[in-house]
Amino acid sequence: MNTKPHYQLYIAGDWQSGSGGQVMQSVNPADGNAWATFDCASADDVDKAVTAAKRALDAPAWRDMTQTARGKLLYRLADLVAEHAEHLGRIETTDSGKLAAETMAQTGYVADYYRYYAGLADKIEGAVLPIDKPGMHVYTQRMPIGVVAGIVPWNAQMFLAATKLAPALAAGCTVVLKASEIAPAPMIEFAKLIDQAGFPPGVVSVITGDAGNCAIPLTRHKDVDRIAFTGGPETARHVVRNSAENFAMTTLELGGKSPILVFEDADLDSAANGLIAGNFGASGQSCVAGTRGLVHRPVFEALVRLITEKSRSLIVGDPHDPATHLGPLCTTAQVSCIEETLGKAVAQGAKIAFGGSRGEHASPHYFDPTLVLCETPDIETLKIEMFGPVMSLLPFDTEEQAIALANASDFGLGSGIFTQSLARAHRVSNRIRSGITWVNTYRAISPIAPFGGFNQSGYGREAGQEAILDYTRVKTTWINTSDAPMTNPFVMR
């Protein structure tokens, strides 16, 4: 008899059931069946996790650990992540429907994020100030900001957890990671590695649960000093409001509707590959998906033919099968949203070049790769973040028009440019309002490169050297080096 795996909460170094008794099921999108159950945190569990994090922050085991020693712990965690990348990847595929080839490779690469910040752990420096008062020695230190609430969505969760957890731990903070209540199993499996790496109890807790019982109490908690959130703009607005209760420093990595600009001098084969990768990679379930393809009119038809030809060979199927290119979407709500948005787009005059339906699959979570041809920028698929394998192409006539169309969005996370002109690449990149621009490539990431957006794509940056400083506060120390007693404060000289 096969029993479903059950996942508990990881709080203060212990595995615990949720005190509220709430248990949820996790659905395997590939077959639409529940495959696992998990405990959900209550407000009391959240308080227990945050209290443990605050206690660990001041406990000698973590407080007095040298930065070099903290770095070694992160190196150990990195090795464990790399060692268990296949297992974690397969769990994530079963839980979310993402391709196993992608989840395993991405998890393996995530280990480099922990290594990068492990190396930076003892590079956080202060300064001696050339102060304007004699007899004073004044210096600054960067101190851990405190307890961090890291909130991670279901897509790319190992990566998005690393961009928060690695710099926070390197800076000496403690962290409560809140996994999405949709497909949380990989994050809870990852908690086992936290324990195995040897972090003191309470330094990292991993919990999950719904908004009312878990996310809201966490982001409002009086002892949370920093919130690192990845998700949608609507949820982010609630997070910002909640942070007014504790004045927690907040960074937001939100959605996107990224433009990919293809100019007439571009290598069209490369551009077609970039558009396919940017739209059909991860079945379109990516915040940097390049779902607004803006194409110079002279090459529009040729590019459409090339994309259509290349897409014919794409295989939609079992995400565990190495031959599969696109797996199911994580939720049926995404599929319904895509269908509704496509219906509006067609009514507005858009044409579906291929795809446009769920296809013939065993599970209702699937949606076939789709290409939408648009003649005006008002088409619905050019506006809505659909989180599915839907590419929209819109022609433009001039560089100025292309830039205006690229910036005509509430979002500003990623962007792409395909051109053989180095001058144009720099010129256009400088004018596009996005946090990331890829030129003649797309969806490349690195722990060395900052990641984040403009406008409603959020604020703050993850990855890169600057990110670790966001988990610190500057402390200034004044030392009177004179042997003379302090002067009378009421005598002004």
- What are the residue numbers of the active site? 253
Residue 232: half-sphere exposure toward Cβ, Cα within 13 Å: 9
Given a contact cutoff of 8 angstroms between Cβ atoms, the answer to whether 150 and 160 are in contact is: no
3-class SS of residue 62: helix
**Across the strands, what pairs with 143?**
473
Residue type, 438: W
Other beta carbons less than 10 A from residue 296's beta carbon: 22
Burial, 68: exposed, middle or buried (Cβ in 10 Å; 0-12, 13-18, 19+)? exposed
How far is 49 from 38, CA to CA, in rounded Å? 17
List b or e across 116-132, with b for residues whose CB sees 16 or more CB atoms inside 10 angstroms: bbbebbeebeeeeeeee
- According to DSSP, residue 182 is labeled S
Going by the DSSP 8-state scheme, the letter that residue 122 receives in this structure is G
Paired tokens of 274: 């970039």
CA distance 115 to 70: 12
Residue 9: how many CB atoms within 10 A of its CB?
Answer: 28
Residue 62 C-beta-side C-alpha neighbours within 13 Å: 26
Q: Within a 10 A sphere around the Cβ of 477, how many other Cβ atoms? A: 11
Amino acid at 451: F
Name the amino acid, one letter, at 25: Q
Distance from C-alpha of 59 to C-alpha of 203, rounded to nearest angstrom = 10
Q: For residues 420 and 422, what is the distance between their CA atoms, to the nearest angstrom?
A: 6
CA distance 477 to 37: 51
Q: How far is CA 94 from the centre of its chain?
A: 20
